[in-house]
Amino acid sequence: MNRCWGRLVLGVIVLSLSAGAALAGPRFADRGQTPPVVVRADVDRLEPDRLVIRGAHFGTTTAPTVLLAQVPLQVLSFNDNQIVVRLPIDAPAARYRLQVLAHGTSPSAVVEVVLGSATAI
């Protein structure tokens, strides 16, 4: 009886561990998607209503989401290494937190961006 009980408990433990891993879904590294990396973000000198974001892993098929102070910006163009977004006309000169979300849910690290004159901050 004890031998059967031990095998039954061991079988339940193995089954629950393997089912838990399967139900948890693939790990981030298993999906083959690298989170986006923002290297720099600058206001375009010729078109000051545009912010040019440079980095890596932004994607090529689906437009990334760009958040400035947690507000989504309109993506004008993008490729895997650069994103151009439209800045709000009424954005006051200040330091803002910028984040890029690509591949569905993969967020970049938060980057600080300065808009407007540095003396106005």
Q: What pLDDT score was predicted for residue 51?
A: 97
Q: Under a CB-based contact definition with an 8 Å cutoff, are residues 25 and 55 in contact?
A: no
16-67 pLDDT, tens digit per residue, is: 444 444 444 444 443 567 899 999 999 999 999 999 999 999 999 999 999 9
Sketch out the chain's domains with CATH numbers.
1-30 (no CATH), 33-120 (2.60.40.10)
Q: What pLDDT score was predicted for residue 103?
A: 83
Give the helix, strand, coil percentages of the chain, each rounded to 5.
25, 40, 35
Q: What pLDDT score was predicted for residue 106?
A: 77
Average predicted confidence (pLDDT) for the chain: 78
pTM higher than the cut 0.85: no
Residue percentage of the chain with pLDDT more than 90: 59
